A and B are shown apart, each in its own frame.
Chain A
Amino acid sequence: MNADTDVPPIVEMRGITIRFPGVLALDNVDFTLRPGEIHSLMGENGAGKSTLIKALTGVYAIDSGSIAVAGKRQTFSTAADAQDAGISTVYQEVNLCANLSVGENVMLGHEKRRGTGIDWKTTHSEAARHLASLGLTLDTRSILASHSIAIQQLVAISRAMVLDAKVLILDEPTSSLDRGEVEQLFGIMRDLRDKGVAILFVSHFLDQVYEISDRITVLRNGALVGEHPIAELPRDALVTKMIGRELEDLASIASSSHREIDRSGTPVVRATGLGKRGVLEPADLEVFEGEVVGIAGLLGSGRTELVRLLYGADRADEGTVEVHGEHVRLHQPRHAIEHRISLSSENRREEGVVADLTVAENIVLGMQARQGWLRKIPKKDQDAVVQEYIDALGVRPANPNALVGNLSGGNQQKVLLARWLATAPELLVLDEPTRGIDVGAKADIQRKVAELSAQGLSVIFISSELEEVLRMAQRVVVLRDRKKIGELEAATTDLDGLIDYIANAGEGSAA
């Protein structure tokens, strides 16, 4: 709004490059932040947003490039250095101490002293003054944990202001807030902007970004895509810049998956009004036999949340689930597995494969879960099944005794897929099965999924790569801002149509 390009920038990052072992996290990125603007940093997961913020706040050291704050070149080695230079950060997870009082959290490290000891009375009244300047009236002596996350976020911002911040970084501050709380936060952000504070805002919610920002910088795969005033960047252009286009030749998979599905009978799984407060608005979902249902939406739109509620990994507040037309209660993953629903998590390493076991042992784990733990599976059967999956999925090395931890990401994903297939599911939920793996492995996995679904397996396929979703699925469920906004037939939708739908559908009626 009142951010002119003429105003000298408060933060200038030039040619920032950060390498992690085997990964170029940031590649020669420029970023400029001006006083009195709200600047959104956009990009999909892995685009480098967090890395850029951590470079600016002294958490990560930069390999090359320069950072200047208020025209002065800076090298930050700790969070405290960045704070001293006037850069304050409020992280997604509230980084305060919930065991201490509100006032203490605001003032920690800056308590008022009298003589040798802390003067609590003055400290609390000082904290109250800072809170009041953001329009908050709280009992500063109450324990922080007794307040909602929204209030805690605002307390964190208030703390940032005690440090007399010239730059305020808000990393996903709205992800756990409801609509009213977001409005409260935005009001405070506008006040601060009008006082000349530069605000760097990160959010996955497009509506919020368009509501609050003056300017947007887009990153993709660790590189700068561009910086634009908000008015010059329509939503679909933004989404295209964030996602990019992938030109892989996987057309054969597309042709095999675009077949007619008989949706006249009872669906394998039907969820009705499945939702959880603050996580996902009630959504319906049906999957028929042999059908691949894609779920599309930006990161944080509720894709993972939807399938976790369905699977029972998180407990839904409302809604019902039917398997083959019968009501079931899926309160734990174990219940889902009993009803032959399997979910392959997006956190491959943390929630997926057991890195310290061999390929064979990982696959047998899946068989064993299906059989019951006490029933011994003959060694001969185990070996046969393991060999079958290694061949079918092309696991490399094709050695059943290799430790899974030593395999590449793509091959770990194949083992994980094999393990879930060994549970003989009727519905297989794949959350980002191809993220971070090479093209060859990606094609192997896609081919296998297409083949199995042709044989009658029902699949829910989640991916950030929209082309992949369109290629694999017959039907695409679209989510935005934790809400299902519609369904599309993959055969009659192209990538531009899907991007447009994600960005604009239901606009006006939403929020």
Chain B
Amino acid sequence: MAAMTTARPTSRPSEGRPSVVQTFLSRHGGMMPTFAAVAILVLLFIGGEIFLRGDFIKPLTISNLLINYAYLLVLAVGMTFVILTGGIDLSVGSVMAFTGMLGAKLLADGSPVWIAVPAMLLGGAVIGLFIGILVQYFGVQPFIASLAGLFLGRGLAFIVSLNSIKVEEPAVVWLQSTRMKLGDWVITPTGIIALVTVAIAAFVLHLTRFGRTIYAIGGSEQSARLMGLKVGRTKVAAYVISGTCAGLAGLLLTAYSNAGYPRNGIGTELDAIAAVVIGGTLLTGGRGYVLGSMIGVFVYGTIKTIINFMGAEQAWMQIIVGSLLLLFIVVQRAIVARAEGRR
């Protein structure tokens, strides 16, 4: 026993003092996919600049990314919470359409904006709660539960109206039409809302026990439960957050298009998932960053912008996003396999 106390452990006794690189990898290895996303974004910008002969990298292009994809960014933020727990939320596109319709209808019927907007957020939250309860307390697969949410949201959108409803409420129009300028940089209130959402989400995920529980559940739900963490309510809350974000995205999209339209956002849930995955969040949960999801949205938006600039077929968009997704999922598998191999 006495001999043993002298041989007390260090993490890797044989290697001596670990190098800076080793320390960095052992601490932040999980960030590698997000760094890869940043690299791809940079490459896209450089590529765009070359193809478009110096007409691409300018403040307006970058500003427009945020302005045009504010709704997608908000969806991706909510989706990040759910995917971090190891779940998935397919409902967000149609929930966004429903809340957009709901808000437009309320405003058209003369409700004040301070009723319409909270109603939109609440509508999203309730559908999120419904999915979360199905997942957590009825043991339904997240894929199936949120698929039910997808149909429910779309159906509700059509029940509100089969046609688009114009929105003329000044407060809503203001959200998108106001252009705040700082030199050549432009931002709208919708862009600010999206950025604030990202900031709040980053704070919650990294600096609150709730946020850390989200990560713990994604790492191992069983372990999280045995550690005495509040697994059930945290998981439900992740879906409520995603639903609420979908409600907020409904508001942003309504402001963007000045109308609610029941066919909005068909397939947008897949864009949001793609952005989250490209941004480096592991589909199996437990690893990823909301800032990565923001990068993912920008990658998505940049590809789309380049294709528009080039006047190429939109089909290329899908092929490129699909290829990137494939690439990222393979990279993630490799990272996970390496981590397991080490254990």
A135 contacts B5, C-beta separation under 8 Å: yes
Q: What's the tally of chain B residues with a CB closer than 8 Å to chain A?
A: 40
With a cutoff of 8 Å between Cβ atoms, the chain A residues found around residue B215 in the complex are 97, 99-100
Interface centre among B27, B227, B342 (most CB of A within 10 A): B227
CA distance A109 to B215 in the complex (A): 12
A184 contacts B4, C-beta separation under 8 Å: yes
Given the interface contacts A97-B219, A98-B343, does A80 sit within 8 Å of B30 by beta carbon? no
CA distance A148 to B342 in the complex (A): 8
Q: Does A463 contact B (CB under 8 A)?
A: no
B18 to chain A, nearest CB (A): 8
CA distance A260 to B95 in the complex (A): 77
Residues of A within 8 A of B (CB): 78-80, 83-84, 89, 91, 94-101, 104, 108-109, 111, 113, 116-118, 120, 135-139, 141-143, 145-149, 151, 154, 159, 180, 183-184, 186-187, 190
A184 contacts B8, C-beta separation under 8 Å: yes
Q: Which of A101, A113, A138, A149 contacts B11 (CB 8 A)?
A: A138
Please tell me which stretch of B201-209, B244-252, B260-268 contacts chain A, meaning at least 4 of its Cβ atoms lie within 8 angstroms of it. B201-209
A80 contacts B228, C-beta separation under 8 Å: yes
B289 to chain A, nearest CB (A): 12
CA distance A96 to B220 in the complex (A): 7
Given the interface contacts A142-B23, A143-B27, does A96 sit within 8 Å of B223 by beta carbon? yes
CA distance A104 to B209 in the complex (A): 11
With a cutoff of 8 Å between Cβ atoms, the chain B residues found around residue A183 in the complex are 4, 7
B200 to chain A, nearest CB (A): 12
CA distance A100 to B227 in the complex (A): 13
A117 contacts B286, C-beta separation under 8 Å: no
Given the interface contacts A135-B5, A147-B11, A154-B9, does A95 sit within 8 Å of B212 by beta carbon? no
A142 contacts B226, C-beta separation under 8 Å: no
Q: Does B10 contact A (CB under 8 A)?
A: yes
Given the interface contacts A139-B23, A149-B343, does A79 sit within 8 Å of B226 by beta carbon? yes
A169 to chain B, nearest CB (A): 11
A95 contacts B218, C-beta separation under 8 Å: no
Q: Which of A79, A104, A141, A154 contacts B225 (CB 8 A)?
A: A79
Given the interface contacts A95-B222, A187-B5, does A118 sit within 8 Å of B208 by beta carbon? yes
What string of 1s and 0s marks CB contacts (under 8 Å) between B104-123 and chain A?
A: 00000000000000000000
Residues of B within 8 A of A (CB): 1, 4-5, 7-11, 18, 23, 25-27, 29-30, 203, 206-209, 212-213, 215-216, 218-220, 222-229, 286-287, 339, 342-343
CA distance A84 to B227 in the complex (A): 11
With a cutoff of 8 Å between Cβ atoms, the chain B residues found around residue A91 in the complex are 226
With a cutoff of 8 Å between Cβ atoms, the chain A residues found around residue B30 in the complex are 99, 143
Q: Which of B4, B7, B212, B224 contacts A111 (CB 8 A)?
A: B212
Q: Which of A89, A97, A143 contacts B26 (CB 8 A)?
A: A143
B287 contacts A83, C-beta separation under 8 Å: no
CA distance A439 to B10 in the complex (A): 53
CA distance A111 to B10 in the complex (A): 24
Given the interface contacts A95-B227, A109-B227, A117-B208, does A100 sit within 8 Å of B26 by beta carbon? no
CA distance A62 to B65 in the complex (A): 59
A276 to chain B, nearest CB (A): 15
CA distance A148 to B7 in the complex (A): 17
Chain B residue at minimal CB-CB distance from A79: B226
CA distance A147 to B25 in the complex (A): 12
A118 to chain B, nearest CB (A): 5
B339 contacts A145, C-beta separation under 8 Å: yes
Given the interface contacts A98-B220, A149-B343, A159-B227, does A142 sit within 8 Å of B212 by beta carbon? no
Given the interface contacts A98-B343, A100-B212, A108-B227, does A141 sit within 8 Å of B27 by beta carbon? yes
Chain B residue at minimal CB-CB distance from A149: B343
Q: List 28 A-B contacts (CB under 8 A).
A: A79-B225, A79-B226, A80-B228, A84-B228, A89-B226, A95-B222, A95-B227, A97-B215, A97-B220, A97-B223, A99-B30, A100-B216, A101-B27, A109-B227, A111-B212, A135-B8, A136-B8, A137-B11, A138-B10, A139-B26, A143-B26, A145-B342, A146-B342, A147-B11, A149-B343, A184-B7, A187-B4, A187-B8
Beyond A117-B208, A186-B1, A187-B4, 11 extra complex contacts between A and B, CB < 8 Å: A91-B226, A96-B223, A116-B207, A116-B208, A118-B206, A135-B8, A142-B23, A142-B27, A146-B339, A147-B11, A183-B7
With a cutoff of 8 Å between Cβ atoms, the chain A residues found around residue B206 in the complex are 118
A109 contacts B8, C-beta separation under 8 Å: no
With a cutoff of 8 Å between Cβ atoms, the chain B residues found around residue A148 in the complex are 343
B11 contacts A139, C-beta separation under 8 Å: yes
A299 to chain B, nearest CB (A): 23
Chain A to chain B: the 3 pairs with minimum beta-carbon distance, closest first: A97-B219, A117-B207, A80-B228
Chain B residue at minimal CB-CB distance from A84: B228
Chain A residue at minimal CB-CB distance from B84: A99
B7 to chain A, nearest CB (A): 8
With a cutoff of 8 Å between Cβ atoms, the chain B residues found around residue A113 in the complex are 209
With a cutoff of 8 Å between Cβ atoms, the chain A residues found around residue B23 in the complex are 139, 142
B11 contacts A142, C-beta separation under 8 Å: yes
Q: Which of A104, A145, A190 contacts B212 (CB 8 A)?
A: A104
CA distance A183 to B215 in the complex (A): 33
With a cutoff of 8 Å between Cβ atoms, the chain B residues found around residue A108 in the complex are 212-213, 216, 227, 229
With a cutoff of 8 Å between Cβ atoms, the chain A residues found around residue B208 in the complex are 116-118
B223 contacts A95, C-beta separation under 8 Å: yes
B343 to chain A, nearest CB (A): 6
With a cutoff of 8 Å between Cβ atoms, the chain A residues found around residue B218 in the complex are 99
A88 to chain B, nearest CB (A): 10
CA distance A186 to B2 in the complex (A): 12
A136 contacts B287, C-beta separation under 8 Å: no
A190 contacts B226, C-beta separation under 8 Å: no
CA distance A184 to B3 in the complex (A): 11
Q: Which of A83, A95, A137, A187 contacts B1 (CB 8 A)?
A: A187
Interface centre among B9, B203, B218, B287 (most CB of A within 10 A): B9
CA distance A113 to B287 in the complex (A): 23
CA distance A98 to B282 in the complex (A): 14
CA distance A478 to B206 in the complex (A): 53
Chain A residue at minimal CB-CB distance from B284: A99
Q: Which of B4, B203, B228 contacts A109 (CB 8 A)?
A: B228
CA distance A138 to B206 in the complex (A): 22
With a cutoff of 8 Å between Cβ atoms, the chain B residues found around residue A142 in the complex are 11, 23, 26-27
CA distance A184 to B7 in the complex (A): 8
B262 to chain A, nearest CB (A): 40
A99 contacts B4, C-beta separation under 8 Å: no
Given the interface contacts A97-B216, A99-B218, A187-B4, does A118 sit within 8 Å of B207 by beta carbon? yes
A97 contacts B4, C-beta separation under 8 Å: no
Q: Which of A95, A138, A186, A187 contacts B226 (CB 8 A)?
A: A95
With a cutoff of 8 Å between Cβ atoms, the chain A residues found around residue B213 in the complex are 108-109
B9 contacts A151, C-beta separation under 8 Å: yes
CA distance A106 to B224 in the complex (A): 12
B224 to chain A, nearest CB (A): 7
With a cutoff of 8 Å between Cβ atoms, the chain A residues found around residue B27 in the complex are 101, 139, 141-143
Interface centre among B10, B218, B219 (most CB of A within 10 A): B219
CA distance A109 to B224 in the complex (A): 10
B207 contacts A79, C-beta separation under 8 Å: no
With a cutoff of 8 Å between Cβ atoms, the chain B residues found around residue A186 in the complex are 1, 4
CA distance A108 to B220 in the complex (A): 13
Given the interface contacts A109-B227, A135-B5, A184-B8, does A99 sit within 8 Å of B26 by beta carbon? no
CA distance A30 to B235 in the complex (A): 38
With a cutoff of 8 Å between Cβ atoms, the chain B residues found around residue A96 in the complex are 220, 223, 227
